[in-house]
Structure 1
Amino acid sequence: MTAVRNLTIASLVLLLGVLPVQAQEGEPPAPLPLNELRTFTEVLERIRTSYVEEVDDATLLENAIRGMLEGLDPHSAYLEPEAFQGLQDTTTGQFGGLGLEVGQEDGFIKVISPIDDTPASRAGIEPGDLIVKIDDHPVKGMSLMDAVDRMRGPAGSKIKLTLVRGTGRPFDVQLERAVIKVRSVRVEDLEPGYAYLRITQFQNNTGDEVRRSLAALKEKGDLKGLVMDLRNNPGGVLQSAVEVADAFLTGGLIVYTKGRLANTELRFNATSGNPGGDIPLVVLINGGSASASEIVAGALQDRGRAVIMGTDSFGKGSVQTVLPLNNDRALKLTTALYYTPNGRSIQAQGIVPDIRVDRAQLTRSEDEGGGYREVDLLGHLNNGSGEAEPGLRTPVTGAEAERAADYQLNQALNLLKGLNITRAR
């Protein structure tokens, strides 16, 4: 029976060799490479008969499919049922794990971005960190999907990651897995007339949330400027990125894609509905801003609608199409590349900010904190203007202090104020 099964697999593959591969439009049909197919069937047979442990045919063939996709690029993958479901969960905003967007580099797992308010971000994991061990298991040679599977687990369970940051020594981080509920859009007031719009990830409803947030900000009163924060935003749903850019543009191109197939060549244009109006806009990006974040930043930059500030973005400008297969499996395949309105490819280039501002931290020295001033001294002279005199300054605490320490955000706010001064003249 085994011999018959062996013959069936080998003969099936070899018979396929006489059939031409279906050609793309405008291309002549190409025959399958017979010598390579013979090598494949020979390797398959040798493993089945000589490997130290017996391996069933289905496992061998699935491993072959997985390897075939992993050899293409870091983002193409064969999704088994659990991974397919996990991918669907991330676009709806709730999933289990650590809150990390990861890729693969030199055989290690590289952090693209930690997601806000998740175990990963609270543990201080940063974009660019390399994960070299998961629970003391080396990741060198491990597939990206296997690494992701190891990092997933029941909420409340513990995991240890060994990381390398830059040229430093490896260090361990202990985390507790949680159900990740991603809040896509967050809005805060920076100062009267100036607002902060944080987009954590592009989910199915992000475009609608941004439009609602803009309407709410306008209802409060005169909106003089807005900071859109896309730092450490790993991307997400393309349509949501288009909708967010559309909220600040009136007509014209937002992004287009090009691939080998006709149906991968798409163009996305802005509509006339523009709730963002002509509000002065600064967009913050960094090395953790990827994919959909880069689409928004690139569109607003090319169209002259926003000033892009921060550091170079990640440079993921490829389109992945999820193709469902049988048995609840799917193929995640790179099918096209993104281009900004001016024809710039984002892939491996990223978005270069108009104004480069590296990450830094503002610290308040003791002599400029909540100390005494002239107005606080007993018997001080009045200034004669009749205006109420300020009392003792209270120290900034909590979220306000954290925001005040964000150097990039402070620079963005200062720029908005400057833009308003020049507009008023």
Structure 2
Amino acid sequence: MKEQTMKRWMLSAAIGYCAATLPCHAAEPVQIPKEEFEQMLDSYQLVLRDYVEPADRKKLFTEAIRGMMSALDPHSRYLDKADLEDLERIHSGQYVGIGIGVEMINGQVLIRDVAENSPADKQGVRAGDSIVAIDGAPLFGLRDSQVASRVHGEPGTKVELTLARRGNTPLRTLSVERATLQEHTVTVQHLDGDIARIRIAEFGGNTAAELIAALRQLDGPRPVKGIVLDLRNNPGGLLPAAVAVAGAFLPQGAMVFSSTGRIPESNSKITVSPRFYGKPGSADACEQLPAFAQDVPLAVLVNGASASAAELVAGAIQDHGRGKLFGTRTYGKGSIQTVFPLTDESAIKLTIARYYTPNGREVQAQGIVPDVAIAPAVARGDDALLFREADMANHLPASSAVPETEASQRPVAEDSKTFGSAGDRALQAAIVQLHPALPSGQALGSVWRGISAMLRLPGS
């Protein structure tokens, strides 16, 4: 396929980032070793000729590509039709499912994140659970995309999940009803002391607009005196959305992150600019921001499940001194992927760069260390520990060595239902930081002055 006809997506955690934001250069020819290529062709011919049954030629080539990608880092992979549909789902913000994200780690199907108020969330599915079987069928040997296809289905139908947790806990089976889910990613909670907690569950296609709507609502006759930006359990998402979120609190032109790779277009400095978060021909969304957003006191909450684009936003705010980070060290997913289409129904997702915070700190396999370390009030035990990026097989190593004590620490799986509650220690510390006059024991004494509301855009 010719370079100029390829539709590309720059990715964060397997979610699209329009490549129009970065320059593209003509691909340089690559010398293919003749001996290795001939070995592959010989193997292909041997299978076609001698295998016990006639082999599917298309499947052989597809699996050959898939196998080649599996030799790289865990975020580089072959994408089939279902995978590409998932990418489009992220952009549209609507899909049929139960509200979970999964990934394969050491042969296990691990639930990476659970969307708040989704069918899975309501049935008690939690991040850190592993799926043993779906509708009674074991998942051994399946890819994460095959697992996802079994979970997806028609709205109103049910899927049966058999789940396990680490430790000596028994298996449990839950029946979860599929639904058409509209991903609203921003919620607002009004706290004592004129503090607002803005939670971003994921960076999706509508996140920037939802955040701007939230900030405009907060810009009333009695403006807030501080904002707590909650990025805990945020698995990442669209990089343009993340840049727009950073731009809501940082000035135009401020660097959000830089990226470094082998090809020229992967070496870039991404700043708060419509070039990097806007759509061609559309108005600058940040022009609708109320003025107070740029100077209102800010605190950011992160944990071990804050990944990728969430780490990028947190790192930018921290490096620019715009606000302090509270919580635990983040996940450590600091690489960028590009999708290169092969056909209309297949593509390759390839890691092309590492990204760094504005001050040049590497995120990959290290994560972001908060300014104020706050452990969760209640840990659910060893069975609730989560994996980090550095735990994944074949993960892209950090350029610099990670201290062994930090690398060996694993985060506790926090239930998002506890966020914003009276026992939320990280939130308590952030509120005291923003409103020193408010006694710490009172900071969450009457945490709800209003209902935590999901902001919905007109027509959504």
Tell me the TM-score normalized by structure 1: 0.77
CA drift at 1:197? 0.5
Other-structure match for 1:180? 181
* Contact 1:135–1:161 (8 Å) recurs in 2: yes
> What stretches of structure 1 of length at least 5 have no aligned partner?
1-24, 363-398
Residues 159-178 of structure 1 mapped to structure 2, 5 A cutoff: 159-169=159-169, 171-174=171-174, 175-178=176-179
Other-structure match for 1:370? none
Query: What CA distance in whole angstroms lies between the structure 2 residues aligned with 1:412 and 1:315?
Result: 23
Residues 230-379 of structure 1 mapped to structure 2, 5 A cutoff: 230-250=231-251, 251-270=253-272, 275-360=292-377
Distance change >3 Å, CA 419–CA 150, structure 1 → 2: farther
Query: What CA distance in whole angstroms lies between the structure 2 residues aligned with 1:126 and 1:419?
Result: 37
Query: What CA distance in whole angstroms lies between the structure 1 residues aligned with 2:429 and 2:347?
Result: 44
CA drift at 1:292? 1.0
Query: What CA distance in whole angstroms lies between the structure 2 residues aligned with 1:160 and 1:357?
Result: 36
* Contact 2:99–2:181 (8 Å) recurs in 1: yes
- Three-state SS of the structure 2 residue aligned to 1:219 is coil
Other-structure match for 1:365? none
- Three-state SS of the structure 1 residue aligned to 2:330 is coil
With 242-251 and 293-302 compared, the bigger mean Cα shift is at 242-251
> What stretches of structure 2 of length at least 5 have no aligned partner?
1-24, 274-285, 380-416, 440-460
Query: What CA distance in whole angstroms lies between the structure 1 residues aligned with 2:107 and 2:355?
Result: 26
Distance change >3 Å, CA 260–CA 177, structure 1 → 2: same
**Which structure has the bigger radius of gyration?**
1
Other-structure match for 1:415? 433
Query: What CA distance in whole angstroms lies between the structure 2 residues aligned with 1:71 and 1:348?
Result: 18
Residues 10-409 of structure 1 mapped to structure 2, 5 A cutoff: 31-169=31-169, 171-174=171-174, 175-250=176-251, 251-270=253-272, 275-360=292-377, 403-409=421-427
- Three-state SS of the structure 1 residue aligned to 2:294 is coil
- Three-state SS of the structure 1 residue aligned to 2:306 is coil
CA drift at 1:99? 1.5
Give identity over the alignment, percent. Answer: 39
CA drift at 1:361? 5.5
CA RMSD, Structure 1 to Structure 2 (Å): 2.9
Paired positions, count: 361
Query: What CA distance in whole angstroms lies between the structure 1 residues aligned with 2:378 and 2:66?
Result: 44
CA drift at 1:29? 6.8
Query: What CA distance in whole angstroms lies between the structure 1 residues aligned with 2:145 and 2:47?
Result: 23
| AA matched with 1:60 | L
CA-to-aligned-CA distance 1:272-295 (integer Å, 9 cap, x gap): 976522222111112221111111
With 353-362 and 146-155 compared, the bigger mean Cα shift is at 353-362
Query: What CA distance in whole angstroms lies between the structure 2 residues aligned with 1:407 and 1:359?
Result: 7
Query: What CA distance in whole angstroms lies between the structure 1 residues aligned with 2:272 and 2:420?
Result: 36
* Contact 2:259–2:266 (8 Å) recurs in 1: yes
Query: What CA distance in whole angstroms lies between the structure 2 residues aligned with 1:127 and 1:59?
Result: 33
Query: What CA distance in whole angstroms lies between the structure 2 residues aligned with 1:127 and 1:349?
Result: 21
CA drift at 1:227? 1.1
Distance change >3 Å, CA 419–CA 94, structure 1 → 2: farther
CA drift at 1:400? 11
With 285-294 and 33-42 compared, the bigger mean Cα shift is at 33-42
With 50-59 and 295-304 compared, the bigger mean Cα shift is at 50-59
CA-to-aligned-CA distance 1:207-245 (integer Å, 9 cap, x gap): 232223212212241311111111111111101101111
Query: What CA distance in whole angstroms lies between the structure 2 residues aligned with 1:47 and 1:411?
Result: 63
CA drift at 1:183? 0.7
CA drift at 1:28? 10
Distance change >3 Å, CA 30–CA 193, structure 1 → 2: closer
* Contact 2:219–2:292 (8 Å) recurs in 1: no
Tell me the TM-score normalized by structure 2: 0.71
| AA matched with 2:261 | G
